[in-house]
Structure 1
Amino acid sequence: MRLTIDTTTDTYEQAIAAVQAAYGLRPDTPAGWPQAPAVEPRPGPQDLSIDGLGNGWSDQLLFQVLAALMPGARTVLRRITDLGGAASYDDVQRYFADPLTDPIPTSRIGGTLTSIKAVQRRVAPESTGPLLQRDERARLYRIDDALVAGLTRAFAMADARPDLLRGTAPSL
């Protein structure tokens, strides 16, 4: 069971009533108490499309990969996605070397991105193409354009539901 209480809009009495209702208790509520607001459904991965984006990928599958990634790999993948799906090794390394961002040592970025391939093998079907392509000669990271759009939607869902991501604390 999951119970969400919004401490900015719900009153103490509404919170207690919600907990009691969740456990099947039906207390008499005083006539003067306001009614609890209607619960709005929270978005979830099921709201993402299952339609193919190409190479066997869908929005739901991309979200599953994002959710399974460690936070560092997710952050690097987001940076490459924010750059339109193409970035040089040097651009990514410079961005994460800045202490104002989430710093990742330069020597660890390549290993961090290797984990994306490992998660893809574990989560995605074998028929999917590579999510992140690395060109060692040109020193470039690349994500197909259709996947960039899907990753953007998956990251928006991740922002709305951080409780579904690996390495984040669950929310009540």
Structure 2
Amino acid sequence: MADVSEHLVRFRRITETEYWEPWEGAGDVQAAAHDFRRARLGLLPLGHQQRAGAGLWAGRESMEGDGVQLTIDTQRDTYEQAIAAVQAAYGLNPAAVTSSWPPAPAHEPRPGPETLSSADLGHGWTERMLFDTVAALMPGARAVLRRLVEVGGTATYDDIQTHFAGHPETPIEPKRIGGTLTSVRAVRRRIGPDNRTQLLERNESARLYRIDPALVEGLKKAFDLAEIRPDLLRQEPAPVPNPAGSLRVHRDAAS
């Protein structure tokens, strides 16, 4: 009995020695050894049930029959739910049972451009049209347009140049701001309303950029959706090697 118990505690398995006549109470000894090992690992004891005629193999059945199988759905179950389930299974937190799990968040479809309004905001522009414009812009032009929306729709050339000169994510040299914004004109011709209204107006004499106030709120909704769905936005073109071995970059024809 002592040899079997020691083998269970040290090696976590039954000794290979065969006992043709199991002794009385062998199941209790094995269960106690199993609980002792759990206690050494910081786990609560599982306990065991007395069985009529319990012997060596009955004790083994007691140990193995107490296990559980966990299934965690990583698409629906929260991290807290998974932790609570594992804790409950190992006896670390018996109170954390499935019935007390926090409810999983509702999985609603991600919003898309179709959720935006098609009502005329002014000069033929709609929320959907503004989002399509924002999504089609080159990243640099998109960043400048967003900055203008953040400051209320009007900013000086100097303010914009200073802001992006040392920008941590989208640095733009002051002399390249004008060239960067040609993407706005190109996209407006393809996506904007059928009139000559510009989304981004420039006052060269006053050195001002201006967006019609009627469009600022619509642009805010467009950029909010862009935050949620960056997968819909145009990205920087990937460099492509030319036959000579140097790098060549595909650019918008108008930029």
TM-score range normalised by the length of the shorter chain: 0.7 to 0.9
1:60-99 to structure 2, matched below 5 A, reads 60-99=128-167
What corresponds to 1:107 in structure 2?
175
User: Secondary structure at the residue paired with 2:202?
Assistant: strand
Aligned AA (2:214): A
User: Secondary structure at the residue paired with 1:14?
Assistant: coil
Structure 1 pair 99/46, CA: closer, same or farther in 2 (3 Å)?
Answer: closer
What corresponds to 2:204 in structure 1?
136
1:17-36 to structure 2, matched below 5 A, reads none
Contact 1:57-1:128 at 8 Å conserved across structures: no
- The 1-side partners of 2:201 and 2:220 are apart by 17
Contact 1:56-1:128 at 8 Å conserved across structures: no
1:167 to 230, 235, 247: 235
> Structure 1: where are the runs of 5+ without partners?
1-11, 17-35
What corresponds to 2:216 in structure 1?
148
Contact 2:125-2:193 at 8 Å conserved across structures: no
- The 1-side partners of 2:196 and 2:111 are apart by 26
1:116 to 184, 198, 204: 184
> Structure 2: where are the runs of 5+ without partners?
1-70, 76-103, 237-255
- The 2-side partners of 1:69 and 1:38 are apart by 33
What corresponds to 1:57 in structure 2?
125
User: Secondary structure at the residue paired with 2:73?
Assistant: helix
TM-score by length of 2: 0.51
Contact 1:66-1:74 at 8 Å conserved across structures: yes
Would you identify which runs of 4 or more consecutive aligned residues in structure 1 move more than 6 Å? none
- The 2-side partners of 1:124 and 1:15 are apart by 42
Could you give the per-residue CA deviations for residues 12-66 of structure 1, whole angstroms, max 9, x where no partner exists?
A: 96369xxxxxxxxxxxxxxxxxxx9763111001001111100000000000000
- The 2-side partners of 1:80 and 1:69 are apart by 15
Count of residues in Structure 1 that have an aligned counterpart in Structure 2? 142
Q: What is the root-mean-square deviation of aligned Cα atoms in Å?
A: 2.4
Structure having the higher Rg:
2
